[in-house]
Amino acid sequence: MRARQLLAVAVLTMSLAGCSEDRSAQPAASDLTAVDRDQVRDGGTLRWAVEAVPATLNVFQPEATADTELLTGALLPHLFRLDDHARPTTDPDYLTAAESTPAGQSPQTVTYRLNPKAVWTDGTPITAADFTAQWHALGDGADPAYRSEHPAGYAAIAAVTQGADAREVKVAFKQPYAGWRTLFSPLYPAAATATPAAFNQPLTNAPSAGPFTVKTYDRAGGRATVVRNPQWWGDPAKAEAIDFLATPAAGRLDALDQGKLDIAALTDTVDHAAPANAKTSAAPPDAAALAEASAQALRRAEALPGLKLHRAAAPSFAQLTLNGTRGPLADPDVRRAVARAVDRQRVAEAAVTPFGLAAVPLGHHLLMAGQEGYQDNGTALGTASAAELLDRAGWHTGGAARSKDGKELTLGLLIPDGSASARRVADALTADLAGAGIAVRPQAVPAESFLRDHLATGEYDLALFSWPATADATGATARYSKPQPGPDGLPVVGRNYARTGSEEIDHLLAEAAAELDPGARQAVLQKADARIWQLAHSVPLYQRPDLVAVRDEVANAGAFGFASPRFQDLGLRRG
């Protein structure tokens, strides 16, 4: 699961005086071919590109990928649906009601009323037993034999019990948990989670409870086919089947052109397009060659006959992580100088504009533009310029780069190999930091070693990569939690690759997670984000672009953003 949390570092990656949010300038939150259900034909098969048929359909296993999450949306219960601004609403196919005790009432208890028609494909009703088994597998004190990283929220649960009947579930919390709507989504049948042996299986054939169910699952052949679920009680699926076809990014334009795909994400295809002479040249392609190859790929994607290229802001963001235990960056003033020197507007323009979206810098570590409460908190860095901060830290001018004790202020910058946008961003960052007297040495690193050999080990100064955004703002607190000593006395980094943190930030994030009053919670979140800025842990840069090609006759598909696809509405348009 960690690889998914890092969101494929091999893909994409305003002035710090800050700016107010101008929603009119934001990229679209989603871009779909929206069609009413009565205008969608019954029948037909949709062909959807995935990177690979996933090793498991259990999103909580370490082997899970973004494609795992995609498939479970068609197969498994998700109690709440997200709109394109990450706002949750109950899904009536699974819940008739869901209520939490009000703020200030202890203990917090959430009561779910399950749809009485909801059943697994083997005919077993969905009941409190499924919730209990999943909590036992993921919660605090779970048997360590369960191979899971224990996602946020389950540790806050004190008990899961049946209510008035098997279709009523009561979840009591040890401490309040504001993100309770993110729990039990997806929900798995008790048979798949009740024991470590069952949970740890490469789940591919467990009972499902969505509009579709698995017909064939061929990892070696690169095809997973889902068909209409005969036990489904909700609006019937319009498409008869969906083929999820393993199609690596480099082959998707050809597959679309040859009529082999109907839906394909193309962001990585465009960003990692290989120059024409890449296979014959001994030298790695330069930035100009990567940019031209990317531009050609985008033009081809836009011109594919019978297809539309949808564009929106992805639920993920590029950021610059500063290794706070490495050389000059161990000094908070040097880190703040780096953050102050970055022109986020220029970086966003370099990264996003070539994809045909508005270039809007990101100013929050915990929220994306469009999410409730978003604001640019870059002003928390203060008014001192990068030059003033470096002067204070003892780094003096006198050459192309500042120096101290005979050493130049030079920092390495990790970027994903083969990414045209990462090269553009690296060029912009190099120029920004040079203006402050900081020399930057970009280093392109292959995806397979980016995390393993650099982020996890601390062998880097600066790193450009992307994180997935979370619908609940406190769902990614592990990225900012202060590393604590392990059994050997060394700090346990976890997912905080910057290796910096503070007890105050930890306290504020915990307070926000436990605050049930929306207004009070937003105030705490803003304070937490301001402290992360002041620590100069990392610099949020921009939301990644999401490019998705969809065949013209396909309805209700495209770039979904945060929104949950309604798979039963996907299909072929009438007429």
Which of 147, 180, 207 is a domain's end point?
Answer: 207
Return the axis-axis angle of helices 420-435 and 287-303, rounded to nearest 10°. 140
Domain membership flag for residue 3: no
Task: Tell me how far apart the alpha carbons of residues 518 and 511 are, in angstroms, rounded to a whole number.
Answer: 12
DSSP class of 481 = S
Q: Same structural domain for residues 568 and 540?
A: no
**Nearest alpha carbon to residue 248 among 230, 266, 225:** 266
CA distance 294 to 278: 13
In this structure, the answer to whether residues 423 and 485 fall within a common structural domain is yes
The string of DSSP codes covering 84-128 is TT--EEE-TTTEEEEEEPPTT-SS-EEEEEE-TT-B-TTSPBP-H
Q: Can you tell me the distance from the alpha carbon of 428 to that of 157, in angstroms, rounded to the nearest whole number?
A: 46
Does residue 265 share a domain with residue 120? Answer: no
Distances (CA, A) of 66 to 72, 245, 276, 397: 10, 14, 30, 47
Are residues 527 and 445 part of one domain? yes
- pLDDT value of position 278: 67
Q: Are residues 223 and 341 in the same domain?
A: no
Same domain, yes or no: 348 and 423: yes
8 A C-beta contact, residue 82 and residue 471: yes
Is 18 domain-assigned?
A: no
Q: Tell me whether strands 410-416 and 407-408 are parallel, antiparallel or unpaired.
A: unpaired
331 and 407 belong to one structural domain: yes
417 and 445 Cβ atoms separated by less than 8 Å: yes
Specify the pLDDT at position 25: 62
334 and 232 in a single domain? The answer is no
State whether residue 514 is helix, strand or coil: helix
| Residues 241, 151 share a domain | no
| Whether residue 132 is found in the same domain as residue 188 | yes
Q: pLDDT tens string for the chain (575 positions)?
A: 444 444 444 343 322 223 333 434 678 999 999 999 999 999 999 999 999 999 999 999 999 999 999 999 999 999 999 999 999 999 999 999 999 999 989 999 999 999 999 999 999 999 999 999 999 999 987 789 999 977 889 999 999 999 999 999 999 999 999 999 999 999 999 999 999 999 999 899 889 999 999 999 999 999 999 999 999 999 999 999 999 999 999 999 999 999 999 999 999 999 999 998 766 666 678 889 999 999 999 999 999 999 999 999 999 999 999 999 999 999 999 999 999 999 999 999 999 999 999 999 999 999 999 999 999 999 999 999 999 999 999 999 988 999 999 999 999 999 999 999 999 999 999 999 999 999 999 999 999 999 999 999 999 999 999 999 999 999 989 999 999 998 988 889 999 999 999 999 999 999 999 999 999 999 999 999 999 999 999 999 999 999 999 999 999 999 999 999 999 999 999 97
DSSP 366: S
Domain membership of residue 223 as a residue range: 36-51+211-276+291-306+552-574
Which CATH number does the domain housing residue 124 bear?
3.90.76.10
d(CA 53, CA 246): 6
**Co-location of 458 and 568 in the same domain:** no
CA distance 500 to 458: 12
Give domain status of residue 2, yes or no. Answer: no
Residue type, 320: L
For residue 350, give the CATH number of its domain.
3.10.105.10
What Rg value do the Cα atoms of the chain yield, rounded? 24
Same domain (yes/no): 194, 231: no
The CATH number given to whatever domain includes residue 556 is 3.40.190.10
According to DSSP, residue 394 is labeled T
According to DSSP, residue 258 is labeled: T
Contacts 24+ apart (CB under 8 A), 425-429: 425/13, 425/318, 425/347, 425/350, 425/351, 425/464, 425/541, 426/464, 427/287, 427/350, 428/343, 428/346, 428/347, 428/350, 429/320, 429/342, 429/347, 429/462, 429/464
